[in-house]
Chain A
Amino acid sequence: MRRIIVNIAFIIFAFALQICIFPFIPFLYASPNLLIILTFTYGFSLGVEEGMLYGLICGILMDLYVAGPFGFFTFLFLWIGFINGKLSTYFYEEYIVLPVAVCAASEVMYNVFIYIFKFLIREKFNVVFYIKNIIIPEVVITLIFTLILYRFLLWYNKKLRVLDSRGINR
């Protein structure tokens, strides 16, 4: 329980960082998608249930912030959480290549989803441009932040799990 509360607090903090700090840093060409990193890490390491829970929270936060139809990001993040949760059978703490690949896939999925439903339906067909100028920079910077954050997130989730189980045993 404690873990879930801390993780949700973390998501809200990351969300604030993502919309208040990173877009204002002038030398960053793209800003990292922290919510994707969190949804992916939690889903991938903790399983389907928590992946969906955190995905849902991230999605609702995004939907509330971004104007437009409500539910767009909720749907997207829910599925990202679910898919990452499914992949958690392949989760070993020591491996780093697979998680990086999974995170990249999530990030690409996120951007392709936005492209299809916000741009392609308005007949914007220059896919190459969008891939080169928007998707790739964002994927790269998100991956860099994944490498930094992933271990830390796993480490403190493990700590919290130990704390939680102690609380139950008592």
Chain B
Amino acid sequence: MESRNKFVLIVLSIISIILIGITSFNDSIISPLRQAVGIVLLPVQSGVNTAGRAVYDNIEEQRKIHSAITENIELNKKIDELTQENTKLMADNGELARLRELYKLDESYSDYPKVGARVVAKDSTKWFSTFTIDKGSDDGIAVDMNVIGYGGLIGIVTDVGKNYATVRAVIDDISRVSAMSLRTGALCRVDGNLEQYNEGRLILRDVKSDADVNEGDMIVTSNVSTKYLPNILIGYARDLKDDSSRLTKSGYIIPVVNFDTISEVLVITKLKEVSDQ
């Protein structure tokens, strides 16, 4: 009995180590299984998620109603102000369109085809920043598609099933994004880092020491990235310092997205086409 247990333990351990070895190099072997389970599990996830959120939303709603009444009066006042401002902005908008043409920013990401999705599951440990969304290959989602929302880049699709997809956020410790300064086009790299994200920032690195990147510059995904579409806002540059080698500078990025409260995202259903030049 005793030795049988040990035998089972050893055999299963060896099997899993072999599996780790195989799937490290090629995880396509396991993906049919993952997909099958994903298809079964997603309704459960969605259900539990909806139920949990309904309870939470109810509590939130009660709290909100109280503040809503006073807010209403204030907001009415604000509407008047905003209508005025809006007219002014309409005029500005025309100007912006002209300027955009001037800067040839014609591929601003508002033009990409997008699919909206809900976040149904997240990694419960703080070690990883990945989550599952409720849209999959049926909705035209594929691996390496960019995920945006809340005004900026959220992450990239790493795994797709029929009706679900897994997204790795840019704050994940293994995330690397090739980026550039929107103002000057100077290239850099944005790394996710668990330690830095605790302070609410990402790492900005590999900026050439003579490159024109300033504090507060908008950092966007670069043209040369293999997986990320260009000109998606990541965040703002901070605390740039020379590296010890003096060849490069590095600093931090304050991301525009608050990754703790993501519940809906947009997936850009257009893959970056890398030209073979």
- Chain A interface (Cβ within 8 Å of chain B)? 12, 16-26, 30-33, 48-49, 52, 56, 59, 64-72, 74-75, 78-79, 82, 85, 111, 114-115, 118-119, 122, 124, 126, 129-130, 133-134, 137-138
Contacts and interface: CB of A to CB of B under 8 A. Distances in A.
Contacts of A72: 16, 20
Interface in B126-162: 126-128, 130, 132, 158-159
A75 B124 contact: no
Contacts of B174: 122
Main secondary structure on B side of the interface with A? helix
Nearest to A110: B125
B27 A69 contact: yes
B124 to A, nearest CB: 4
A69 B31 CA distance: 11
Nearest to B44: A16
Interface in B1-57: 5, 8-9, 12-13, 15-21, 23-24, 27, 30, 33-34, 37-38, 41, 44-45, 48-49, 52-53, 56
A64 B34 contact: yes
B23 A64 contact: no
Nearest to A119: B173
B120 interface: yes
Nearest to B33: A64
A70 B13 contact: no
A82 B9 contact: yes
A67 B159 contact: yes
Nearest to A137: B126
Given A66-B128, A67-B166, A79 B13 contact: yes
